């Protein structure tokens, strides 16, 4: 049996990001190990979504270094280039093509993987038709994978339930064939049944080898799902470790949970203002 440690898939060193005079991230270092679920928690303004936006190219960090799969990445790299390298994300506020069907949304996500190009699509060459059929079949497979039935595939995205829209956004992200999937508060607004279904989906993704970075305000969910958790406070990382280590960390207890934090976290209670 091998005792080798998991490979580091993503590494940040001393990332800084300011907006005017506000220091959103201060010397944040982070390592995401391949095949793990890594959680980010913290109160309002902690910097979680800012870190996600830097990670996925939505924001450019002011300084620091970034590596993905062992290769150095420029802090100016665009979201499109990072997506092609294997880094996909969902958003805190759902961003779907609301007037497209569920299947069309997933198929759009796959078009960055196509080879026939725009002229093949316009001329409807045999190769383009074969590729379009493959994209359609893969889109249906991904919808089924995230728990959406075939009858949902032809429905316009805006008519779907909130939970189904969340799952659809994950399916579209998976269409990019990512090495790392970044989920920004995927359970926000879900009822308990939808949250349980989401938890099962994340566990399935993990079991199938996906590396996941997760922001979520539900600490109980994070403690159940994550292999490691990093805690941000006012743009600084104040803790990093296993769920049990984070649960017992005095700075985390004082900053977020208050009182008998260990017992509260174990019961799935949420920290004070633990959203962003």
Are residues 214 and 78 part of one domain?
yes
Classify residue 92: in a domain, yes or no: no
Are residues 32 and 75 part of one domain?
yes
Classify residue 2: in a domain, yes or no: no
**Residue 26 burial by Cβ neighbours in a 10 Å radius (0-12, 13-18, 19+):** middle
Angle in degrees, CA 64, 70, 74, rounded to 5: 40
pLDDT, tens only, 14-45: 999 999 889 999 999 999 999 999 999 988 78
Among residues 132, 150, 177, the one where a domain terminates is 177
Are residues 185 and 81 part of one domain?
yes
pLDDT at 261: 42
Regions in the chain scoring below 50 on pLDDT: 1-2, 119, 259-276
Are residues 157 and 186 part of one domain?
no
Q: Which residues contact 3 (CB under 8 A, 6 or more apart)?
A: none
Classify residue 91: in a domain, yes or no: no
Q: Which domain holds residue 71?
A: 7-86+178-276
pLDDT at 266: 45
pLDDT at 214: 95
pLDDT at 26: 97
pLDDT at 217: 83
Are residues 273 and 187 part of one domain?
yes
pLDDT, tens only, 157-175: 999 999 999 999 999 999 9
Are residues 253 and 124 part of one domain?
no
Classify residue 195: in a domain, yes or no: yes
Classify residue 242: in a domain, yes or no: yes
Are residues 114 and 47 part of one domain?
no
Are residues 130 and 44 part of one domain?
no
Are residues 183 and 173 part of one domain?
no
Among residues 111, 144, 177, the one where a domain terminates is 177
> For the chain, what is the domain count?
2
pLDDT at 53: 94
Q: Which residues contact 118 (CB under 8 A, 6 or more apart)?
A: none
pLDDT at 109: 77
Classify residue 49: in a domain, yes or no: yes
Classify residue 223: in a domain, yes or no: yes
Are residues 198 and 272 part of one domain?
yes
Are residues 262 and 132 part of one domain?
no
Are residues 182 and 165 part of one domain?
no
Determine the longest span between alpha carbons in the chain, in angstroms.
67
Among residues 177, 212, 232, the one where a domain terminates is 177
Q: Which CATH number does the domain housing residue 247 bear? A: 3.40.50.300
């Amino acid at each position: 049996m091998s005792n080798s440690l998991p490979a580091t898939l993503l590494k940040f060193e001393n990332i800084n990001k300011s907006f005017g005079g506000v220091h959103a991230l201060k010397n944040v270092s982070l390592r995401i190990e391949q095949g793990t679920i890594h959680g980010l928690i913290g109160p309002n303004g902690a910097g979680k979504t800012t870190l996600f936006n830097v990670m996925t190219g939505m924001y450019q960090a002011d300084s620091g270094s970034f590596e993905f799969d062992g290769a150095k990445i420029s802090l100016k790299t665009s979201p499109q280039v990072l997506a092609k390298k294997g880094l996909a994300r969902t958003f805190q506020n759902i961003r779907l093509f609301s007037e497209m069907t569920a299947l069309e949304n997933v198929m759009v996500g796959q078009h960055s993987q196509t080879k026939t190009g725009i002229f093949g699509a316009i001329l409807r060459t045999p190769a383009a038709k074969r590729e379009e059929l493959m994209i359609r079949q893969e889109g249906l497979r991904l919808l089924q994978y995230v728990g959406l039935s075939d009858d949902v595939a032809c429905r316009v995205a805006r008519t779907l339930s909130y939970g189904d829209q969340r799952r659809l956004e994950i399916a579209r992200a998976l269409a990019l064939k990512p090495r790392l999937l970044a989920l920004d508060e995927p359970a926000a607004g879900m009822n308990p049944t939808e949250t349980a279904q989401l938890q099962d989906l994340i566990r399935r993704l993990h079991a199938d080898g996906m590396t996941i970075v997760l922001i979520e305000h539900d600490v109980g969910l994070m403690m159940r799902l994550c292999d490691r958790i990093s805690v941000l406070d006012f743009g600084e990382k104040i803790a990093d470790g296993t769920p049990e280590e984070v649960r017992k960390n005095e700075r985390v207890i004082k900053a977020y949970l208050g009182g008998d934090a260990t017992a509260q976290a174990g019961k799935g209670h949420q920290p004070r203002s633990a959203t962003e």
